[in-house]
Structure 1
């Protein structure tokens, strides 16, 4: 998925969530910037995330992010790679050690633009996060990467409390609950 295909997918993206709909024009505008996939674009850039769930859709894999000190989905910077689906899969593998990862479909699962606070020499900036739904086996051992303090399979019934009722994660949780057809 290069930037041309990504522009088509984002342009055709449909969601019942108003806050997510409102972000689509900003994502499309960012795609016109040649630095959109580089962290050198200090005001904001693309990232990709993996919303990892088990096959039965009862648990999600979350990481306690070392810098942000929050439980989040796995993911990271594009670092020049326009194929955000590939970025999400690579980040999921690198941050979890899982080998059973399977992309549920080629389409975008969720979009979120969020602020990243200043850290060290990095200024405050936006992440334009493109998220993909990925399945994995829960019985596989997890490997914690240097970017994480912990990894855990979290039951859907406990996710909201663990993530502090963070809106975009609750939105992905709701989307997953609605996606019974994917079982």
Structure 2
């Protein structure tokens, strides 16, 4: 079953708060109930992949900055990410979307103590109707990546801007609950 690897990852994941736990349970149910959950054509919603990218270069591996993009269509700041378009390997989707939206090529997925990439965050959010596309849900699976902040960004047609943002300055860009949750998780990882 093409959904089994994602379901295995989801079942190993531990949400950090009650709201994320609800979204995590809803995501598991959605993936179990929809064989075409990776397809954009599933009009009620679909699985997406995102990358939470922390700064880490060889001379200053402090991870206190993250990449945010100013999304052109939604006119808001988010982490890079996007549609699976049928690909059940959501880690690969997150990496590809991050590369396409930022131009960063040296992305390393982070994970457990043995460095096996694991889910970093789970979020379910409503995408508003646009044109002929109805409102629908994104079941977003987020992975933690590191990148060298000295590598230059390459602007894409999907973004208005791309930048490294200090964790303490995120609130100047967005007050999205899910991004605030990922900031908290990052600070816990860094023992702030």
Residue in 2 that maps onto 1:64:
70
Q: TM-score, normalising length from structure 2?
A: 0.90
Residue in 2 that maps onto 1:157:
168
Q: TM-score, normalising length from structure 1?
A: 0.94
Deviation sequence 1:54-86 (CA, Å, 0-9, x none): 021111111000000000000000000000000
Give the whole-Å Cα distance in 2 for the aligned partners of 1:166 and 1:152: 17
Structure 2: tracts of 5 or more residues without a match: 57-61, 112-116
Stretch of structure 1 that moved more, 44-53 or 10-19: 10-19
2:147 matches 1:136:
yes
Residue in 1 that maps onto 2:95:
89
Residue in 1 that maps onto 2:36:
35
* Structure 1 outlier segments of 4+, above 3 Å: none
Deviation sequence 1:13-70 (CA, Å, 0-9, x none): 2122110011122111211211100011111100000001102111111100000000
Residue in 2 that maps onto 1:170:
180
Residue in 2 that maps onto 1:26:
26
Give the whole-Å Cα distance in 2 for the aligned partners of 1:83 and 1:16: 23
2:117 matches 1:111:
no
Give the whole-Å Cα distance in 2 for the aligned partners of 1:135 and 1:128: 23
Q: Give RMSD over aligned pairs.
A: 1.1
Give the whole-Å Cα distance in 1 for the aligned partners of 2:147 and 2:28: 31
Give the whole-Å Cα distance in 1 for the aligned partners of 2:31 and 2:51: 20
Stretch of structure 1 that moved more, 151-160 or 3-12: 3-12
Deviation sequence 1:118-151 (CA, Å, 0-9, x none): 1122111100000000000111110111111110
Give the whole-Å Cα distance in 1 for the aligned partners of 2:141 and 2:165: 22
Give the whole-Å Cα distance in 1 for the aligned partners of 2:8 and 2:168: 35
